[in-house]
Amino acid sequence: MPLPAIGAKPHISLSGLSSGLDTDSIIRDLMHLERQKVDKFAQARLRLEYKRDAYTDFNNTLRKMREQYFSVLATENNMLSPATFKNFSVDMATNASLAVTATANAKTGSHLVSIQQIAKGSTLETAKSSNRDTGITASEINNRSLFELYSAFADSNRVTIGGSGEFDVTINGATVTLNNNWSMRKIMDTINQSDAGVTMSYSQLTDTFKLETNAMGAYDPVLGAIEMPDNASAATRRSIIEEYNQENGTNYTAEQWLENKGRTLTLEDTSGFFKMLGLSLDDDGKAEATNSQAAILTVNGTTITRNSNAFEIDGLRFSLTNSTEKADGTFETISFNVTRNTGEVVENIRKFVADLNTLLRDLYEKINEKRDRAFFPLTDLYKSEMTEKEIELWEAKAKAGILRRDPLAMKLYDTIINSLVDNIGGLGNLGSIGIDTGSFKFGEAVQIEIDTVALERALEEDPDRVASLFTMTGEGTNGAYANSGFANRVVDALDAFVNTTRDKNGPLNDLNSQIADANRRLEDKNKMLERMEQNYRRKYVAMERALSMMQSQNDAVGSLAMMFTQR
């Protein structure tokens, strides 16, 4: 199905009137042979594009696999993280005081916890704020301006704030500019996002507003009494604290002083805003609080104090929300069990192996598929006479064998298989935990198989060894590869393929250069064809003119001869 090559232009002309020759057909036949040569060149260029696209597609596939299994963002199935292979479950009855999650460093066992108090920041809280039994609704907080809410606040607290709308409050030394045309939600958000280091909130249940420092833990009045210049540098703070320690025999640090300062809540408001909300201020419009507290709990009989409600102990992450104190003053004990979640670990490994098997099959197919030379790359003009389905089927055949025996693809395939069967440090290989190649079948890709029973047993008996077989880093006298875990070997192989193809001396750069050169040469060849066709047409036009002149001369001679004959 030979057609004109890319770049051929349509033309309109008349066949030879004088010669009686079909000059269009003659020129078309002459150009047909020339266009076939250019078309072959265009097909060769397309084959270069096919190979470039094949490398790019594989790079994208490998990049996705890396993101899914070898990234810190893959929190549940990061095969480079020991935590993936040491998964624990926490079995605890639902309660309103405590949540616990287990990290990779947890240990199995039973635990008992009671919470005497949770950590809090220093707090200033208003009296009942509104003159309603139901308080202020969430819709009003979010949507109505402070000016519109004046009538909702208790009469004894109502004041007029700033005729212009703007007013300032100072919290922990930070001046915050607010506006009575803003909603209470925007006002609270502005305070919370400022440098004051506090959180302002409203409870419709108690109908009170509250300011609380973000820093929690017990306030130390001794530290708080140490005078420090405003905006003192870190070096100045250290010097002052060291001098205090020498004079008083204490062992404070500048960091402790700074943390303690964060537990102090100071407020200065001459606008009347906080008074309107129901907060008790002195005559100068000031208030101060240092009533922060640390969390105190008992874990397995040991009393623990923390300056936060979220912390980690022995691989267990605790999140406290309420005290477990009962009505009689005693404390309820919460029990929970930590067990290995072997089933989830096995499932994560199974998913990884399944995707790795898919990659091995794709590599094997690309390496071994044969090229069918009957299916050449389609130029645009070939495609113009085919349906989309025909094009799709044809190009699938034309692209077959494009990576046949490709050395980079073969190396990646072999490295993945060898990584599985080669020993890892002094731990043996993955076959020792039930992960090995299946029986070899001629003409098929090697596939990885999992003995679930053996893998579960290995995880129960020695999860650290299983984790090391996957996650060991390449260190030691035997070389990086010999001491790298399976996951590290695989990700190194994926990266090597991608980096090599994209290197300045790699195949992608070389193919792009060849394609750019081919495009320039193809453009030159198409211009040459245009000139050749125009030359043919000029010659045939000249011939037609000459024949026409000869015919005119013959007609004139014939007319003269007839005149003499008649005489």
Q: Tell me how far apart the alpha carbons of residues 267 and 390 are, in angstroms, rounded to a whole number.
A: 77
**Most confident segment among 13-17, 31-35, 531-535:** 531-535
How does residue 246 score in pLDDT terms, banded at 50, 70 and 90?
Answer: very high
User: Which pLDDT belongs to residue 558?
Assistant: 67
Q: Residue 507: CA atoms inside 13 Å, Cβ hemisphere, count?
A: 19
**Overall average pLDDT of the 162-186 stretch:** 89
**Overall average pLDDT of the 310-327 stretch:** 96
Instruction: Residue count of the chain, please give it.
Output: 567
Q: Map 152-207 to HEC letters.
A: HECHHHCCCCCCCCEEEEEECCEEEEEECCCEHHHHHHHHHCCCCCEEEEEECCCC
How does residue 11 score in pLDDT terms, banded at 50, 70 and 90?
Answer: very low
**Overall average pLDDT of the 475-483 stretch:** 69
How does residue 154 score in pLDDT terms, banded at 50, 70 and 90?
Answer: confident
User: Are 515 and 45 a contacting pair, CB within 8 Å?
Assistant: yes
CA distances from 58 to 65, 78, 508, 516, 542 (A): 11, 21, 12, 22, 58
Tens digits of residue pLDDT in 203-239: 999 999 999 999 999 999 999 999 999 888 999 999 9
User: Are 179 and 271 a contacting pair, CB within 8 Å?
Assistant: no
Whether 508 has a pLDDT exceeding 60, the answer reads yes
Average pLDDT, the chain: 88
Q: Which domains does the chain have, with CATH numbers?
A: 76-80+344-369+404-502 (no CATH), 88-118+296-340 (no CATH), 121-216+265-292 (3.30.70), 220-262 (no CATH)
Is the whole-model pTM more than 0.75? no
Q: Which is nearest to 507 in space by CA: 356, 419, 425, 402?
A: 402
More confident residue, 81 or 29: 81
How does residue 521 score in pLDDT terms, banded at 50, 70 and 90?
Answer: confident
Contacts of 384 (CB under 8 A, 6+ apart): none
